[in-house]
Structure 1
Amino acid sequence: MDVDIRKVSVNIDTVYHEHGPVQDPALRIGAAYAVVTNPFAGKYVEDLMPFMDALKPLGKRLATELSDALGGPDAVEAYGKGAIVGVEGELEHGAIWHVAGGWSMREVVGGKAIVPAAKTVAYTGYRLPIPLFHKEAAYVRGHFGSMEVGAIDAPKPREVLYGLVMATGGRIHERLGGLRPEDISEHDGQR
């Protein structure tokens, strides 16, 4: 299957503080998304797997562009994925991104932890908060966060916006305990 890409975006936020001391280095949080035509809009199709496979190169492209914008794969500590399906599609069309986006991102930046996800069917202009987890251990509480992804002109009713988010660290001024990045063990990745 072909993937008809209407547009791609990469956005980076740099956060210096949250009303406390300036953090050095600053936290960098980024999102990359692509808006594509939904080949299943308006109809039920049983086999979605060919489109999932067709989206894998797009997942790798977005992951590479985003990690490069953040300083390279080694700079990335947290990640997440999400999809906004236009109103003529169904939630399963967003779930296609679990493998196409998630596995592609892990291939680019590494990581043992599950890639958290969010997906919805929504109107044009909707903004989706995508969760972030530490890429090596899902229970690193200080890396729980999110970044909003969306576009004023997308997704149109017959489109899907597929997004990835990454961060160079945990929340600014995190101080609520839990597993620390320096204490991650071999078996913490999937907990």
Structure 2
Amino acid sequence: MSSYDIRKTALSIETIWHERGPRLEKPLLIGTAVVVIRNPFAGRFEPNLMPFQAALRELGRELATRLIAQIGGASQIEAYGKGIIVGEDGELEHGAVWHEAGGQGMREVLGQPKAIVPAAKTIGGAGTRLMVPLGHIHAAYVRSHFGTAEMTLWDAPRRDEIAFGLVMATGGRPHARIGGLAVSEISVHDGQR
């Protein structure tokens, strides 16, 4: 991976067969990929974070590529999101660089879907649990694909680290039945409908 001081990476895949309803013919897979790097700005204010954001684009692409391979290929991905946990010696803005870097990395590897990549970010210590929102990759109004994936590492982030994460899923919630735009009804291709 990139030239950043990476301490560790983690990939996890959940395999979901049902949510107390009928067993799915094909399980829903939800994958989470996390990379933990040393925060180059821990303990100090940096007025220009744009070079850091630009340099992380490669990391976003690499992490997305690894996660997609674990889930079974780009054609399988229907939902995505991203998450950031900044260690206590950093600031939320140090994690905000992942909005563009991680989001664009996923989009490039997935063929440039237009829907916004939902995100969650926080400041926290080792073992912080972050629930990362998921949304459909082509249309934000597909309610069946509103979901979450947990991003957590027992030993990260440390005070001077940042945990950057990407999440992807092969479908929406099992047995979704609350209406809204169906995947088969996506037609505008503007990232909304």
Alignment match, 1:81: 82
Could you tell me how far apart the structure 2 residues matched to 1:72 and 1:2 are? 26
Alignment match, 1:151: 153
From 131, 134, 151, the equivalent of 1:132 is 134
The answer to whether the 8 A contact 2:143-2:180 is kept is: yes
Could you tell me how far apart the structure 2 residues matched to 1:164 and 1:61 are? 11
Could you tell me how far apart the structure 2 residues matched to 1:190 and 1:172 are? 22
Structure 1 regions of 5+ residues with no counterpart? none
Task: Write the mapping of 1:40-51 to structure 2, written as runs, cut at 5 A.
Answer: 40-51=41-52
Could you tell me how far apart the structure 1 residues matched to 2:123 and 2:79 are? 25
Percent identity reads 57
Alignment match, 1:117: 119
The answer to whether the 8 A contact 1:139-1:188 is kept is: no
The answer to whether the 8 A contact 1:85-1:155 is kept is: yes
Could you tell me how far apart the structure 2 residues matched to 1:144 and 1:188 are? 18
Normalised TM-score (structure 1)? 0.97
**Residue 20 of structure 1: SS of its match in structure 2?**
coil
| 1:66 paired to 2:67 | yes
Count of paired positions? 191
Q: Runs ≥4 in structure 1, deviation > 6 angstroms?
A: none
Structure 2 regions of 5+ residues with no counterpart? none
Task: Write the mapping of 1:17-28 to structure 2, written as runs, cut at 5 A.
Answer: 17-28=18-29
Q: Deviation of residue 139 (structure 1)?
A: 0.7
| 1:34 paired to 2:35 | yes
Q: Deviation of residue 2 (structure 1)?
A: 4.3
Normalised TM-score (structure 2)? 0.96
The answer to whether the 8 A contact 1:84-1:122 is kept is: yes
